[in-house]
């Protein structure tokens, strides 16, 4: 798979500690690219370091980290072929119950951090006619209950991607969005734990309104990711977006994502509401009150 031209090219993959990001970094290295793999901790750097994969400590919300990454690329004579904006957090809670600090955190990581990295690396990408790959989600098109913050940031990322694509296409930079469905990575387990933590802080009135909904959504999340793509399979879609000479503007990853993206535009909002509600209803706890779990920890990998 390696070509002589690829061995001279750099690729940045953010959020490469585990899951899709780690798998994407390794697969791209096997294609002959030199991958700068963004991780947040030294132990993650030790785990990802391998031939063609150079870990860099990168919190995309930290200005100094982003500037250091840009300086590292500026000092390298190899062209920058692609930036893969993959880092992300999943936070699920009802709109009413999610504290504003968490709303801001989700948007800082899932939107503003990607914009900061993209701004910092665009001069190199413009010079080298590279491409930007933004990892969105089916949640970037359709927002389920308790996904307000996560989907809101992904909706915004989709819009920013469209705008950026139209700004830089004539300058030789391609912008691609990848929209995965359920993927078996650690983000699901962390998302369920966070959802339970947030539910434990809801007021009694909020518990009465949303507790059963939170439990149902956690079960749906666990079930959906259990039947989803492996991280390696999702990464292969990202690698295709990176390596294809003339990539599409959007790729789905997984049959669930492809089905939703195909059928969604054919349905009215009310019809889609009924379908999503019926699907979620199957996961509501039987013979239970609406009270959300206080100490439960669901362990599941995505």
Domains of the chain are: 6-184+229-257 (3.40.50.720)
Residues 6+ apart with CB under 8 A from 268: none
Three-state DSSP at 172 gives coil
Handedness of CA 183, 135, 107, 255 (dihedral sign): negative
Is the separation of the CB atoms in 142 and 272 below 8 Å?
yes
Please say if the pLDDT value at position 274 is more than 80.
yes
Distance of alpha carbon 114 from alpha carbon 117, whole angstroms? 5
pLDDT bracket for residue 226 (50, 70, 90)? low
Please say if the pLDDT value at position 301 is more than 50.
no
Mean pLDDT, the chain, rounded, equals: 89
Is the separation of the CB atoms in 215 and 261 below 8 Å?
no
Please say if the pLDDT value at position 291 is more than 50.
no
Active-site residue identified among 147, 150, 210, 251: 150
Distance of alpha carbon 256 from alpha carbon 138, whole angstroms? 9
172 Rama sector, left if φ>0, alpha if ψ -120 to 50, beta otherwise: left
Please say if the pLDDT value at position 82 is more than 70.
yes
Is the separation of the CB atoms in 213 and 195 below 8 Å?
no
Is the separation of the CB atoms in 157 and 116 below 8 Å?
no
Comparing 16-25, 37-46, 65-74, 211-220, the range with the smallest average pLDDT is 211-220
pLDDT bracket for residue 165 (50, 70, 90)? very high
Q: What is the mean pLDDT of residues 117-137?
A: 98
Three-state DSSP at 33 gives coil
Please say if the pLDDT value at position 128 is more than 60.
yes
Is the separation of the CB atoms in 180 and 138 below 8 Å?
yes
DSSP string, 211-276: HHHHHHHHHHHHHHHHTSEEHHHHHHHHHHHHH-SS--SEEEESHHHHHHHHHGGGS-HHHHHHHH
Three-state DSSP at 167 gives helix
Distance of alpha carbon 78 from alpha carbon 130, whole angstroms? 12
Distance of alpha carbon 231 from alpha carbon 55, whole angstroms? 19
Please say if the pLDDT value at position 224 is more than 70.
no
Comparing 131-140, 204-213, 239-248, the range with the smallest average pLDDT is 204-213
If 0-12 CB within 10 Å is exposed, 13-18 middle and 19+ buried, where does residue 99 land? exposed
Please say if the pLDDT value at position 184 is more than 70.
yes
Please say if the pLDDT value at position 2 is more than 60.
no
CA distances from 121 to 13, 69, 262 (A): 12, 8, 33
Three-state DSSP at 120 gives helix
For residue 150, indicate whether it is catalytic.
yes
Residues 6+ apart with CB under 8 A from 294: 196, 199, 200
Q: What are phi and psi of 84, to 5 degrees?
A: -105, 105
Distance of alpha carbon 184 from alpha carbon 249, whole angstroms? 25
Q: Determine the straight-line distance between the first and last CA of the chain, rounded to whole angstroms.
A: 28
The DSSP 8-state label assigned to residue 302 in this structure reads -
Q: What is the pTM of this model?
A: 0.88
pLDDT bracket for residue 6 (50, 70, 90)? low
């Amino acid at each position: 798979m390696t070509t002589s031209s690829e061995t001279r090219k750099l690729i940045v993959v953010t959020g490469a500690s585990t899951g899709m990001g780690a798998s994407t970094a390794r697969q791209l290295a096997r294609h002959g690219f030199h991958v700068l793999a963004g991780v947040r901790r030294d132990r993650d750097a030790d785990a990802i370091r391998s031939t063609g994969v150079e870990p860099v400590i990168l919190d995309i919300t930290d200005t100094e980290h982003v500037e250091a990454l840009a300086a590292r690329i500026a000092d390298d004579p190899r062209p920058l072929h692609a930036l893969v904006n993959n880092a992300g957090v999943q936070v699920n809670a009802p709109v009413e119950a999610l504290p504003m600090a968490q709303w801001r955190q989700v948007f800082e990581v899932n939107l503003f951090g990607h914009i900061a990295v993209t701004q910092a690396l665009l001069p190199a990408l413009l010079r080298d006619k590279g491409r930007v790959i933004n990892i969105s989600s089916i949640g970037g098109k359709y927002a389920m209950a308790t996904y307000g913050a996560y989907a809101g940031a992904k909706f915004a990322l989709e819009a920013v991607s469209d705008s950026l694509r139209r700004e830089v296409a004539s300058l030789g930079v391609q912008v691609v969005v990848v929209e995965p469905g359920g993927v078996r990575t650690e983000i699901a387990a962390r998302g369920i734990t966070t959802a339970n933590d947030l539910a434990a802080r809801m007021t009694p009135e909020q518990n009465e309104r949303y507790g059963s909904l939170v439990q149902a959504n956690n079960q749906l999340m666990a079930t959906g990711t259990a039947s989803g793509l492996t991280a390696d399979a999702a990464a292969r879609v990202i690698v295709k977006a990176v390596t294809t000479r003339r990539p599409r503007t959007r790729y789905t990853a997984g049959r669930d994502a492809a089905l939703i993206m195909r059928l969604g535009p054919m349905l009215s909002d009310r019809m889609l509401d009924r379908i999503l509600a019926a699907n979620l209803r199957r996961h509501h706890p039987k013979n239970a009150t609406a009270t959300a779990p206080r100490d439960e920890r669901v362990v599941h990998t995505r």
